[in-house]
Amino acid sequence: MADPISNIIKKRRQQLGLTQSQLAQRAGISDKTYQRIEQGCSDMRLSQYRSLITACQMTDLDVSLDLLGIDSANTEDVAAASRLLLPITRLRLVQSIVEEWQRKAHDVDKTKKGNAR
């Protein structure tokens, strides 16, 4: 039987519309290894976990929230959870938030320019 983290990765894989083979390729692991992890026949190494969640566009926080069954989180939840992260992970979280904000600001600028024509 697969462990809860493998189930979370499988669910995200399915949400992304990826096959097992496609996710394995994105994560840089063999198809057979990923199949065994997803089926619960093989334990996942930390390096494989990192590669798989990155390929699924997830963070440790996403996995933790999914493990707790939290479908949505407000800013206070995220702030509280971020205090528990390692400093490097917290830095990555902040960088991701800034990148997302910049992407959205860029999209808004493009929309405004398109509407002005």
Residue-range domain boundaries for the chain: 1-72, 85-117
pLDDT-based confidence at residue 84 (cuts at 50, 70, 90): confident
Asked if residues 21 and 29 have their Cβ atoms less than 8 Å apart, the reply is: no
Closest Cα to residue 52, out of 104, 110, 6, 14?
Answer: 6
Burial of 24 (0-12, 13-18, 19+ CB in 10 A): buried
pLDDT confidence of residue 37: 95
Q: Is the pLDDT of residue 77 over 90?
A: no
CATH number corresponding to 1-72: 1.10.260.40
pLDDT digits 0-9 by tens, 11-22: 999 999 999 999
CB 64 within 8 A of CB 73: no
pLDDT band at residue 116 under the 50/70/90 scheme: low
Any idea which residue has 């997803």 for tokens? 38
